[in-house]
Amino acid sequence: MIAPSHIRLLETALPTIPLPSLVPTLNWPSLDSSYSRVDLDHFPSPDAEYWRHSCGEFGAWSECFIAVVRGARERIWLIDGFLLKIDAHAKGCFVDVFERVLGETSAWDVRLLTSGKEGHRDQIDLLRVLQDQRRAPPRNEGFTLKVRYVRDGKSRARLPHDRFSIIDDELWHWGANVGGTHHEVNAFSRGWSAQESQAVVYFERLWNEAEVWL
C-alpha cells in the first residue's frame, strides 16, 4: 500500500494540463484559385468572391467548421431558420454537406433548430435513417439526432435573425447559413464560451418552446 505522504508527492508531481482557451476569431469561408476551400482571415478579393459565388449555395463551406463538427465529443446544436431549405438554384442542401460528417462525429447530442422551408421533409427522412443506422448493430451507439421547428408567427418561440451553432462548449456566429454554405460574401466568428454568453440557456429555451419533427 502506498503511504499517504507518497500519494501527496505523486499528486504534486503530476503536470497540470491547462484547458484550451477560447480565442474569438473572424473568418470568411472562401475558395482559392484551384477551387480548394479555405477560411480567410480577411475579406475575399474580387477573384475569390467570384470563385465562391460561381459554386452556388451549398457548393462550398467552411472546412474548419466541418473538422470541428467531426471532432466534437458531446454536443452539436445548430440554430438556423433556413437550415433545411432547398432552393431550385442551389447546388445542394444541408444533408448533402453534413450527412457524412454527422455519421462520423463522436458527439451524441445533435439538435437542429429551424423553421419549415421547401424540401425540409425529405431531409428529415434522411436524417432519421442516419440516426437509426448509428443506433443499430453493429454500432449500437447512444446517438440522438433531433430536429425541432418554429412556425413563423404561429409559435411562442421566435428564432433569431442570425445563425448560431454550439459545438461542445464553443459558440459560433454565422453571417449567413450555418457552416458557411451561402455563396455570397459572409463571415463567421468563433471562440466564444457557450456558457458565459448564455447561448446554452437561450438555445434550450427555444428548443423547449419549439415543435418536434424528429
pLDDT tens-place string over residues 35-81: 899 999 999 999 999 999 998 899 899 999 999 999 999 999 999 99
Helical (H) or strand (E) element with 95 = helix 94-104
* Confidence at residue 87, expressed as pLDDT on a 0 to 100 scale: 79
Angle (nearest 5°) at CA 76 between 17 and 183: 115
Alpha-carbon distance of 36 to 43, in angstroms, equals 17
* Confidence at residue 119, expressed as pLDDT on a 0 to 100 scale: 66
- 12 backbone dihedrals φ, ψ, rounded to 5°: -70, -20
- Fold observed for domain 32-212: Endonuclease; Chain A (3.30.870)
Residues in CB range of 170: below 8 A, 6 or more apart: 22, 68, 190, 191, 192, 193, 194
Domain boundaries, given as residue ranges, for the chain: 32-212
> Closest Cα partner for 186 from 35, 25, 28?
28
- Which three three-digit cell numbers place residue 151? 412556425
Report, as ranges of residue numbers, the positions in the chain whose pLDDT lies below 70: 1-20, 118-119, 153-155, 214
Question: What single-letter amino acid sits at 174?
Answer: W
Alpha-carbon distance of 46 to 1, in angstroms, equals 70
* Confidence at residue 117, expressed as pLDDT on a 0 to 100 scale: 72
pTM for this model (two decimals): 0.86
Q: Which residues pair with 177 in a beta bridge?
A: none
> Closest Cα partner for 95 from 84, 105, 80?
84
**In this predicted model, what pLDDT tens digit does every residue of 201-212 receive, in sequence order?**
999 999 999 988
* Confidence at residue 21, expressed as pLDDT on a 0 to 100 scale: 77
Strands (E), 74-213: 75-79, 109-114, 144-149, 163-167, 170-174, 188-193, 211-212
* Confidence at residue 12, expressed as pLDDT on a 0 to 100 scale: 38
Question: 172 by DSSP, 3-state: which?
Answer: strand
Alpha-carbon distance of 127 to 129, in angstroms, equals 5
